[in-house]
Amino acid sequence: MPTTPNESGQNLRQRAEKLFRASELLSPDLTSSDATKELLHELQVHQIELEMQNDELRRNQQELDVARARYFDLYNLAPVGYLTFDKKGLILNANLAAAQMFRVTQNVLLEHLVSKFVFKEDENIFYQQRKQLFESAAPQVWDMRMVRADGSFFWVHLQATTAHDGEYWINFIDITERKLLEAQLEKAYNEQESMVSARTSELALANVELKNEIEEHKKADDSLRGAIAEIQELKERLRAENIYLQREIAQQFNFGELIGQSHAIRHVFTLIEQVADMNATVLLLGETGTGKGVVARAIHAHSGRKARPMITVNCSTLPTNLIESELFGREKGAFTGSDARQMGRFELADGGTIFLDEIGEMPMELQSKLLRVIQDGEFERVGRPHTIKVNVRIIAASNRNLEEEIQSGRFRRDLYYRLNVFPITVPPLRLRVEDISLLVNHFVANWIFDKLASRNDLTQRSIARRIKTTT
């Protein structure tokens, strides 16, 4: 471990004293001995080292003095105010910038408590920060207001730290202008926020009103479109019904009402009266030409559906490839040649009656679709997978024995049971000969009979005779 200059000097002195005491006892010529010479040499070297150390100390002292002067200038002339105070808060030193901030001389600041210059409303902040500085010795940074000599206050940014034992430093910067700008900015911001909030509320209210108006317009548009679509649908239906009825009127022969007084026909009248007001499906059976279509019209005419049309479909006259589209309708482009949308007979009969004549001629692949209409009251148009609901009463007719058709596999048993809810067998004219005269009188009263009579020179008696002959 290296020795200090003081320790080296003490060792040399102790050795010299010991040597001289020995020389006095032994011989006066001992001073010229090698040990003495060595000691003298060491003393000279040590003297030189001491002088060098003294020179270094003098230089260090000069540098320290310069540094202290420079530090004093920096401290005193610094643009930041500095205060040194003790643990009681007494100001021990202050630089020029600090005095200028408080608008007093440096001497006035000395020997006063720092708290004297603290703005009253900020005293709690100051004491709290000072307490934390004393307890933790960690630097504290905060903003607060301080008071000048004239009583005005100003904002400062403070940084307090421990200087050395018992002393503390505070440096602060005057941030009054910054605080004023912040206050102005905050005020402007609050005013802007208030304006934005008010405007946002106005826009929100306007937006709600606009949305309500849009919703109302949408509802009105939807209602209008719905009304237009409904009108268009009714227009198409009325046009289709008109075309159909005109076609029916042109094709039908005027057989008049059901006429007869025979037991067989009166039984039919009774059945018609019983079933007319029902919605039950009716199956009309009988030979060709017995008037099944007239019975169907009579049932419809006496039902609650008489205000709506009765649509007739002759299943034996429609081509197999067109019967589905005729019954259920088709969309434009559903198949080659379908250049327009067409409503089916079931749509035309919605609310009324559909008469399916010669039901036994219906292809097997369509019988299942007809069964679905009877069961669920719904179907799809050809070319459009969209379910259509209808309320239609079905009257079917056949001149075939449908039970035999079921046995031969040409008619569905479940469809037969659905159709055969209320069967009516229409008797042929040969089984009610007593009705012939009534029929002849009826035909005579019609213009068709007049035309036939004038054209063929026929009389009532000859017509009756011919009818009897044919039966």
pLDDT tens per residue across span 225-268:
777 877 777 777 776 666 566 555 444 433 346 788 889 888 99
Q: Would the pLDDT of 65 be above 70?
A: no
Mean pLDDT of all residues in 77-85 = 70
Residue 144 lies in a domain: yes
Identify the pLDDT of residue 252.
42
* Per-residue b or e along 168-201, where b marks 16 or more CB atoms closer than 10 Å to that residue's CB: bbbbbbbbeeebeeeeeeeeeeeeeeeeeeeeee
Which is more confident, 332 or 358?
Answer: 358
H/E stretch holding 197: helix 176-251
Task: Clarify whether residues 313 and 375 are in a common domain.
Answer: yes
Query: Are the C-beta atoms of 205 and 197 separated by less than 8 Å?
Result: no
Q: Would the pLDDT of 357 be above 90?
A: yes
Task: Clarify whether residues 291 and 399 are in a common domain.
Answer: yes
Residues 6+ apart with CB under 8 A from 384: 331, 334
- For 99-153, the pLDDT digits (tens) are 777 778 777 777 788 888 888 888 888 888 888 877 777 887 878 888 887 888 8
Question: Which range, of 4-13, 74-83, 444-453, averages the lowest pLDDT?
Answer: 444-453
Residue finishing a domain among 76, 105, 125:
76
Task: Clarify whether residues 291 and 421 are in a common domain.
Answer: yes
Task: Clarify whether residues 348 and 393 are in a common domain.
Answer: yes
Query: Are the C-beta atoms of 468 and 436 separated by less than 8 Å?
Result: yes
Q: Would the pLDDT of 411 be above 50?
A: yes
Identify the pLDDT of residue 250.
40
Identify the pLDDT of residue 68.
53
Supply the CATH number for residue 130's domain: 3.30.450.20
- For 337-346, the pLDDT digits (tens) are 555 667 888 8
CA atoms lying within 13 Å on the CB side of residue 126: 18
CA atoms lying within 13 Å on the CB side of residue 31: 5
Per-residue confidence band for 394, with pLDDT thresholds at 50, 70 and 90 = very high
Task: Clarify whether residues 107 and 71 are in a common domain.
Answer: no
Residue 34 lies in a domain: yes
Most confident of 14-18, 88-92, 231-235, 375-379: 375-379
Supply the CATH number for residue 419's domain: 3.40.50.300
Q: What is the pTM of this model?
A: 0.46
Q: Rounded to whole angstroms, how far apart are CA atoms 144 and 114?
A: 13
Identify the pLDDT of residue 421.
94
Most confident of 244-253, 323-332, 415-424, 449-458: 415-424
Residue finishing a domain among 174, 208, 238:
174
Task: Clarify whether residues 15 and 133 are in a common domain.
Answer: no
Residue 189 lies in a domain: no
Identify the pLDDT of residue 253.
36
Closest C-alpha to 173, from 257, 93, 78: 78
* Average pLDDT taken over every residue of the chain: 76
Identify the pLDDT of residue 84.
76
Q: CA torsion angle for 66, 71, 73, 78 (degrees, to 10)? A: 160
Residue 302 lies in a domain: yes
Q: Would the pLDDT of 470 be above 50?
A: no
Per-residue confidence band for 75, with pLDDT thresholds at 50, 70 and 90 = low
Residue 33 lies in a domain: yes
Q: Left if phi > 0, otherwise alpha if psi is -120 to 50, otherwise beta: which for 137? A: left
Task: Clarify whether residues 36 and 127 are in a common domain.
Answer: no
Task: Clarify whether residues 151 and 68 are in a common domain.
Answer: no
Per-residue confidence band for 405, with pLDDT thresholds at 50, 70 and 90 = very high
Residue 339 lies in a domain: yes
Residue 119: give the domain boundaries.
Answer: 79-174
CB neighbours (10 Å) of residue 345? 22
Identify the pLDDT of residue 352.
92
Identify the pLDDT of residue 96.
76
Task: Clarify whether residues 33 and 115 are in a common domain.
Answer: no
Residue 83 lies in a domain: yes
Residue finishing a domain among 402, 425, 448:
425
Task: Clarify whether residues 321 and 364 are in a common domain.
Answer: yes
- In DSSP terms, 314 is beta-bridged to 357
Identify the pLDDT of residue 180.
76
Q: Would the pLDDT of 406 be above 90?
A: yes
**What percent of the chain stands above pLDDT 90?**
16
Residue 224 lies in a domain: no
- For 287-334, the pLDDT digits (tens) are 988 889 999 999 998 899 989 989 999 888 877 777 888 888 877 655
Which is more confident, 214 or 2?
Answer: 214
Q: How many domains does the chain have?
A: 3
The one-letter amino acid at 387: T
Task: Clarify whether residues 339 and 393 are in a common domain.
Answer: yes
Question: What is each CA distance from 50 to 38, 57, 415, in whole angstroms?
Answer: 18, 10, 137
Task: Clarify whether residues 315 and 418 are in a common domain.
Answer: yes
Identify the pLDDT of residue 35.
67
Identify the pLDDT of residue 78.
60
